[in-house]
Chains A and B, each alone.
Chain A
Amino acid sequence: MKDVRVTLAVATLLRIFIQDPVEWRYGYDLMQLTGFPSGKLYPILARLEAGGWLIKEVERIDPSAAGRPARRHYRLTGEGLVAARRELLSINEQVQLRPSAGSAPHPAVGTT
């Protein structure tokens, strides 16, 4: 498990994974949930996967029966879940400690 710099975009993504940690998520679904284009989403997924925060698996379907190729999906590892909770909490605290920073907290970070 390696450190990954948790930018706002990374936090946005982690928040989705944390909402239901056992749920597997597909790349395109994550694009729709975050509003990120592929060029923004996939590099973050790669960083989190490389850091051991996320695990990627091939979905268990029979491509010939399903009539489509098997997709890849992602979810948090055990360590990734702990780290993601810690990071999001720390971001929330920072946002709350500085309410007069000018702009409202980013809606994507929110409370979990």
Chain B
Amino acid sequence: MSGLATTVLAVVAGTIGMVLADVVTREFRTRLDRLPTAVIRCAVARAPRPLRAELRDEWQAELAEILRGREALPATRLWIGMRYALGLLRSSRTIGRTLSHAHADDRLSALVSEVPYTDAEKDLLRRAYRVAAQWHQNQWRYSGDPYVTHSVAVARILADLGMDATCVCAGLLHDLPSDTEFSADRVLAEFGGEVAAIIRDVIALDSVPEASIAAVLEATERRVLALKLADRLHNMQTIDFVSVEKQRRKSRETLSFFAPMAGRLGFDRLQDELEDLAVSTLVRIA
């Protein structure tokens, strides 16, 4: 009798034990599975912002596939998942930069093929892009993108404003003299006096005292002002990546100064876009 009771007790205890163990294992496994997911999130955060959603979707789906159908022990799942995720964490910056550079290449190709430039002008723009990509090589935007993505974006805005190839070329090269060893003299020697003059005048605008800015702008060439505005527009388009204080300062400056300037020059859409970006930024950070 007592033997039977012991047996029943043992079976019951064993069953409860097994169920408990299973519950604990499941719980444990769900929790452990979150670890590689979290590591992939970190990996994604190391890539340039515009690429993140796509990379996250690809890697998380792949991880789900790796873990799916593996009913193995939690430790095995953790090991496989972590190996996958840590490899990505190590390489995601390289991957992001590779893809981002390719996007810049594509955008330049699109620009050159969509605007009816002469063959000489196309060559000029391709050469300017190669120089910009080479000299900005190890420089990055706050967004994590290669710096040259900014050069191409500015060039695109200028082309859309109807500026000539000389001005678009200056757009591609405009940050070289101030940010790299590619000096104003080299711009002059390799891209000619007109391009060099536009870039020189744009840089000079930064050091004009506020009191005399109106007079200076009056006397400044349209292409120089267009470049200044294109530069500002792209900076406003990517303003999310700088400090809140800087966002506020830049947005106010855009509203009080650059948007009206665009209006005076007859760039109505540019004016609208600058105002929209500045206002929405100020509202967001208020």
Contact = CB atoms under 8 A, between A and B. Distances in A.
Interface string B95-134: 1001101100100000000000000000000000000000
A47 B84 CA distance: 19
Interface stretch (A16-24, A36-44, A79-87, A101-109): A36-44
B64 A68 contact: yes
B95 A37 contact: no
Nearest to B40: A38
Given A38-B84, A70-B61, A50 B101 contact: yes
B65 A26 contact: yes
Interface size class of B (residues with CB under 8 A): 20 to 34
Interface size class of A (residues with CB under 8 A): 20 to 34
A47 B58 contact: no
A69 B60 contact: yes
B91 interface: yes
A71 B62 contact: yes
A33 B68 CA distance: 19
B105 A28 contact: no
B61 A42 contact: no
B86 A39 contact: yes
B61 A39 contact: no
Nearest to B85: A38
Interface string B55-98: 00110111011101000000000000001111110110011001
Nearest to A37: B87
A56 B91 CA distance: 19
A37 to B, nearest CB: 5
Given A27-B58, A39-B88, A50 B99 contact: yes
A46 B43 CA distance: 15
A59 to B, nearest CB: 9
Contacts of B58: 27, 56, 71-72
A35 interface: no
| Interface SS, A side | helix
Given A37-B87, A49-B99, A50-B98, A2 B105 contact: yes
| Interface SS, B side | helix
A43 B98 contact: yes
Contacts of B91: 38-40, 42-43
A28 B66 CA distance: 7
Nearest to B103: A50
B63 to A, nearest CB: 9
Contacts of A68: 61, 64-65, 68
Given A28-B66, A39-B86, A72 B61 contact: yes
A110 interface: no
A38 B61 contact: no
Contact of B83 (A27, A37, A56, A69): A37
Contacts of B84: 28, 31, 38
B75 to A, nearest CB: 19
B62 A28 contact: yes
Given A46-B98, A46-B99, A27 B62 contact: yes
Nearest to A68: B64
30 contacts: A26-B62, A27-B58, A28-B62, A28-B65, A28-B84, A37-B87, A38-B83, A38-B84, A39-B86, A39-B88, A39-B90, A39-B91, A42-B91, A46-B98, A49-B99, A49-B102, A50-B101, A50-B105, A51-B102, A56-B58, A68-B61, A68-B65, A68-B68, A69-B57, A69-B61, A70-B57, A70-B61, A71-B62, A72-B57, A72-B62
Interface of A: 2, 26-28, 31, 37-43, 46-47, 49-51, 56, 68-72
Given A39-B88, A71-B65, A72-B57, 6 more contacts: A27-B62, A28-B65, A43-B94, A46-B94, A49-B99, A50-B101
